[in-house]
Amino acid sequence: MSASTTAQRKATDQDHLQVGGHSPRVLLSRVGGQNLSLLAALTLVLCFFGVLNPDYLSWSNIEVIAEAATITGLLAVVQTVVIICGALDISVGSQAGLASVISAIAFTATASNAFLGIGTAMVVGALIGLFNGAVIVYGRVNAVIATLAGLAAYKGVAQLISDGRAQGYVLNDTLFVFLGRGRIAGLPAMVWLLLGVSACLHVLLKRTDIGRNVYALGGNDTAARLTGINLNKYLLAVYTLSGIIASLAGILLTARTGSGQPVSGSEGLELQAITAAALGGCALKGGKGGVGGTLLAVALLGALQNGLTVQGINTFWQNIAQGLLLVCAVIIQQRRNGARAVGLPA
C-alpha cells in the first residue's frame, strides 16, 4: 500500500469521525466552551445538592425549579438580544411588574375577559419598550441611564395604579389557570412557553439577516452603519421586543400568583436576567452571545437558588451568591477578551 493511499484513508477516517460527531474538537466547536462549562457547573450543582438531599433530584422538585426559572428565563433571553445589540435594559423587572398589574386590572374591568387583559398588558409592554428606545435614540440618553430611570418610573406607576397592593383575582379563569398551572406532555405550560420564545429568538439571531445585523451592530456600530444598517430602527425594534417579552413575563407572574403584583415577584428580576445573560456568554459590550448559553445559565441559577432554599440558607446569602456570579462572569469575559487593567496603558 502506497503512502498516498494510507494518507487518504487516514483523512477519510478523520472525516467520518467528524461527520459522526465523535471528534472532541468538532463537538467543542458546535457546543461551545462556554456552554460546556455551564453544563459542567450545572451537573456539579445538581450532584452536590442531590447528595445533601435526595429529594432535590425528584421530578416534582425539578418541575419547581423549571417553573420558578421561567419568568427569569423570558427576561434573560430577551436581555440577551438587547446586549448582543450593544445595549442594556435594566427596567425589565419593573416592566414585568407593571404588566402584571395591568393584566389583572384589565381582566377585572372587562368582565373577566382574559384575552383583553393579556392583550392590554402586551400592548402597554410594546409601548413602554418603544418609549425606552425613543428616549435612547432621539433623546440621546445612555441606555443604562434611560432604563435605570425606567426601573424606578415603571415600578412607581405600578404601585400608583394598584395603590401598592395585589390587584384582582384571575384563578377563576381557564386561560390564566392553564398558563400558570397547566401541563403539556408532562411539562408545565410556562416551560413550553419559555422554550417556544427561546427557539424563536434563536432562529431570529442565527438564521436571519436581522439577527446578523444585530450582531454587527453590537460588534462595531460604526462599520455596521457604513454598510447601510439603520442603527436607530434596530434599537427601537429591539427595545420594543424587550417590552413585549417583559409584559409576557408579567402575565405569567399574574397567572402563577393569581393576582397582579406591582412589586412582589418582579423586584430584582432585572439583575437575575443580566446575570444569566453574562454567565451564558454575552459580552456586555455587545456583538457576542446566544440564547442557548443564556438558558443554561438560567437553569444553573435556578438550580443553585432552589438548592440553597432547600438547605434553609438565608435569602440574603443567595443575593450575595448571585452578585458574586455576575462579577465572576464579567471577569472571565474580560480575561478572555484580553482587556487591559484599569489605569494601565493600552
* 314-337 per-position pLDDT tens digit: 878 877 887 887 787 777 767 766
Per-residue pLDDT reduced to its tens digit, 17-60: 444 445 555 555 555 667 888 898 899 999 999 999 989 999 99
Query: Cα dist. 266→19, 144, 231 in Å?
Result: 46, 19, 30
Which CA distances in Å does 104 have to 78, 222, 263, 330?
Answer: 23, 44, 14, 38
Q: Is the pLDDT of residue 15 over 70?
A: no
Distance CA 49, CA 315 (A): 17
**% of the chain surpassing 90 pLDDT:** 62
pTM: 0.86
Is residue 145 within 8 A of residue 136, CB to CB? The reply is no
CB atoms within 10 A of CB 334: 15
CATH of the domain spanning 35-331, picked from 1.10.3470, 1.10.287, 3.40.30, 1.10.150:
1.10.3470
Looking at every residue in the chain, the average pLDDT score rounds to 87
Name residue 184's beta-bridge partners.
Answer: 187
Average of per-residue pLDDT across 298-310? 91
Q: Looking at 80-84, 110-114, 321-325, which range is the least confident one?
A: 321-325
pLDDT band at 86 (very low <50, low <70, confident <90, very high): very high
Burial 84-123 (b: 16+ CB within 10 A, else e): bbbbbbbbbbbbbbbbbbbbbbbbbeeeebbeebbebbbe
Per-residue pLDDT, averaged over 66-71, amounts to 92
**pLDDT per residue over 222-263, tens digit each?**
898 888 999 999 999 999 999 999 999 999 999 999 999 988
pLDDT, residue 264, reads: 73
- Give me the phi and psi of 202, to 5 degrees please: -65, -45
Contacts of 11 (CB under 8 A, 6+ apart): none
pLDDT tens sequence across 178-218: 999 999 998 999 999 999 999 999 999 999 999 999 999 99
pLDDT at 339 over 90: no
- The arithmetic mean of pLDDT across residues 279-298, rounded, is 91
CA 251 to chain centre: 16
